[in-house]
């Protein structure tokens, strides 16, 4: 990816709908639509606030659980084979390597066969004894395939039959006993509401009622409907639909989704109501959750690749949650490892900066400031103090400008070199920041012309769909420091969106590598 790639005034926030004949929407088109509700959160009713707080604890992702259990069973099957080889009669040389390779292939074949028999579906995990059949059938099929492979490769006489029999028996015993333990645990998680996909529905009336009935008709459905939100009054959209309460309007939904742990947002408005759908998406795309448009009542049929399904109910994907499941785990591990190493490697710089701040001006070494974090939640960010303590501006109501008299001599140096940002590595370890992401702005951040950021960029909160970072793609492209022109914030916002929609761990590494080089250009850092 070239450094010049990315937004040049527009952002590639999401691919357009595949059903372009009816829904020619792109994320840019959504953002360009004027929505009457805006993205400003509302004040929740007492009932909605109570439900949101009850749903605040995070849930276990069913898809992530299935992926982790695949890995566990593959490692377990491979380990059983290697343990038998070591304890039974350890071969040597090329024969040993043949057993190692076969053990690994057998583990992969085992989980593949179990997958074929439906052993990794969420509904299977919920059944205590029902999951034993696909597991046993899958493992037996995998071992039979291995034996057949030995025959066709004419190596059946070179492979131990005792080893294969023990591997099948002990492997089956381990798989089945582990599945029983998993089944008990999954039932506890399910009863506690920790293993489910939480969804809210936008739009009430008959369309929402029909959608709910179709979802609840699915056997062993793992989707939990948490409430309904609709801008229409009770006459057109009743206070309760299919037994689920209407918790507020779309503006309230923005606040609800920030307080609760929600996985999926389903818009039940007919796809033919293009204008209204666009207005809703304008308000909702800033949320870091999956957004889908219910297509169960669509008169036109779209190509099958356009759909995803909730049970058997077809949905059109609108926006996907960025950096989810395995990607979030990889990014978090990367952050912890690199931040820990950076703290150790830069400890002399930490000590020198702390002494310089302490010895040259009165006040604390560190400065704490409230900033917007992931999903617009408020976090407290650490920095080395760069201003005179009595002139500190924790609310960032006045932007630091060139020659600002509030900044100490030491502060001017550490700001230009970004050494003042190093304590934020502790925020990374704590999980409040990432190494790379949109830079977190102060809660009441303003430009040098006294304009609030949310007034300059209408969709400003869209940059909070991922965890903010110490450095970011906007900073690499020269957008750091003072915001003295509205265009600077708009370009920074566009680069942030480009990063969110094109994230990869290699992209993060590229930004980290380029950061020290870009720090040499300090004309905008005061």
The full set of domain ranges for the chain reads 27-59+196-319, 62-191, 326-518
| Contacts of 480 by beta carbon, 8 Å cutoff, 6+ apart | 439, 474, 524, 525
Instruction: Measure the CA–CA gap between 340 and 437, rounded to whole angstroms.
Output: 18
CA-to-CA distance for 228 and 304, rounded, in angstroms?
28
| 137, pLDDT greater than 50 | yes
Decide which of 387 and 518 is more confident: 387
Residue 112 has pLDDT above 70, yes or no: yes
Selected residue with higher pLDDT from 19 and 32:
32
Question: Residue 156: which of 164, 104, 82 has the closest Cα?
Answer: 164
| Structure confidence at residue 525 (pLDDT) | 57
The total number of residues shown for the chain amounts to 526
Under the banding of pLDDT at 50, 70 and 90, the label for residue 177 is very high
Residue of higher predicted confidence among 28 and 83: 83
Confidence of residue 377 (pLDDT cuts 50, 70, 90): confident
Task: Specify whether the CB–CB gap between 287 and 465 falls below 8 A.
Answer: yes
- C-alpha–C-alpha distance, residues 445 and 370, integer Å: 10
SS3 336: helix
Higher pLDDT, 66 or 222: 66
| Residue 363 neighbours by CB under 8 Å, 6+ apart | 385, 388, 389, 390, 392
| Pairing status of strand 469-471 against strand 290-294 | unpaired
Q: Pick the residue with more confidence: 321 or 429?
A: 429
Residue 481 has pLDDT above 90, yes or no: no
Percent residues over pLDDT 70 in the chain: 81
In this prediction, residues 393-418 reach a mean pLDDT of 80
User: Does the pLDDT of residue 34 top 80, yes or no?
Assistant: no
What residues contact residue 523 under an 8 Å CB cut-off, 6+ apart? none
Counting other chains too, the contacts that 510-518 makes at CB distance below 8 Å and 24 or more residues apart are: 510/1, 511/436, 511/471, 511/472, 511/473, 511/476, 512/338, 512/435, 512/436, 512/471, 514/3, 514/476, 515/471, 515/475, 515/476, 518/475, 518/476, 518/478
CATH code of 27-59+196-319, in short, is 3.40.50.20
- Give the pLDDT band (50/70/90) at residue 114: very high
What is the arithmetic mean of pLDDT over 398-416? Answer: 82
pLDDT band at residue 22 under the 50/70/90 scheme? very low
pLDDT reading at 103 higher than 50: yes
* pLDDT surpassing 50 at residue 3: no
Is 108 buried (19+), middle (13-18) or exposed (0-12) by CB count in 10 A?
middle
Q: Token pair of 251, please?
A: 């503006």
pLDDT at residue 38 in the model:
40
Place of tokens 């008959």: 206
| Between 224 and 394, residue with greater pLDDT | 224
Question: Is the per-residue pLDDT at 254 higher than 60?
Answer: yes
Most confident of the following: 139-153, 231-245, 435-449, 474-488: 139-153
Q: Which residues neighbour 309 within 8 Å (Cβ) at sequence distance 6 or greater?
A: 315
The confidence band for 348, taking pLDDT boundaries of 50, 70 and 90, is very high
The pLDDT value recorded for residue 272 is 64
């Amino acid at each position: 990816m070239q450094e010049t790639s990315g937004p040049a005034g527009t952002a590639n926030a999401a691919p357009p709908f595949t059903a372009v004949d009816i829904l020619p929407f792109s994320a840019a088109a959504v953002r360009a639509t004027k929505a009457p509700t805006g993205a400003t959160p509302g004040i929740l009713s007492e009932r909605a606030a109570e439900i949101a707080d009850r749903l605040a604890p995070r849930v276990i992702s069913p898809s992530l659980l299935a992926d982790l259990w695949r890995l566990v069973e593959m490692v377990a099957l491979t380990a059983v084979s290697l343990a038998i080889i070591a304890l039974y009669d350890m071969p040597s040389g090329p024969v040993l390597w043949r057993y190692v390779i076969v053990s690994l292939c057998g583990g992969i074949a085992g989980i593949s066969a179990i997958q074929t028999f439906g052993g990794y579906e969420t509904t299977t995990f919920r059944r205590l004894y029902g999951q034993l059949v696909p597991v046993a059938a899958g493992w037996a099929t995998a071992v039979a395939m291995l034996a057949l492979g030995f025959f066709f490769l004419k190596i059946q006489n070179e492979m131990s039959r005792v080893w294969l029999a023990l591997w099948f028996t002990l492997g089956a015993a381990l798989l089945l006993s582990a599945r029983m333990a998993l089944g008990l645990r999954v039932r506890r998680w399910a009863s506690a509401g920790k293993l489910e996909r939480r969804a809210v529905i936008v739009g009430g009336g008959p369309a929402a009622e029909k959608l709910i009935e179709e979802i609840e008709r699915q056997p062993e459905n793992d989707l939990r409907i948490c409430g309904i939100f609709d801008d229409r009054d009770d006459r057109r959209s009743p206070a309760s639909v299919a037994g689920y309460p209407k918790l507020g309007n779309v503006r309230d939904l923005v606040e609800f989704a920030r307080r609760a742990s929600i996985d999926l947002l389903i818009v039940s408005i007919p796809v033919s109501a293009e204008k209204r759908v666009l207005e809703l998406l304008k308000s909702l795309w800033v949320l870091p959750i999956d957004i889908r448009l219910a297509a169960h009542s669509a008169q036109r049929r779209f190509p099958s690749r356009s759909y995803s399904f909730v049970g058997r109910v077809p949905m059109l994907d609108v926006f996907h949650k960025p950096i989810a499941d395995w990607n979030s785990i990889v990014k978090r591990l990367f952050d912890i490892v690199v931040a820990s190493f950076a703290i150790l490697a830069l400890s002399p710089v930490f000590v020198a900066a702390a002494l310089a701040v302490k010895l040259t001006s009165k006040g604390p070494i560190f400065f704490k400031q409230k900033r917007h974090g992931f999903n617009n939640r408020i976090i407290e960010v650490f920095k080395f103090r760069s201003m005179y303590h009595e002139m500190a501006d924790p609310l960032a109501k006045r932007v630091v400008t060139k020659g600002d008299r509030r900044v100490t001599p030491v502060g001017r140096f550490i700001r230009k070199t970004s050494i003042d940002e190093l304590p934020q590595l502790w925020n990374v370890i704590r999980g409040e920041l990432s190494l790379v992401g949109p830079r977190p702005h102060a809660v009441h951040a303003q430009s040098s012309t006294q304009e609030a950021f949310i007034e300059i960029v209408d969709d400003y909160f869209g940059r909070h769909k991922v965890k903010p970072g110490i450095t970011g793609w906007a900073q690499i492209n020269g957008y750091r420091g003072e915001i003295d022109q509205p265009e600077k914030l708009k370009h920074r916002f566009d680069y942030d969106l480009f990063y969110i929609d094109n994230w990869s761990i290699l992209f993060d590494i590229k930004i980290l590598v380029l950061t020290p080089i870009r720090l040499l250009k300090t004309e905008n850092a005061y």
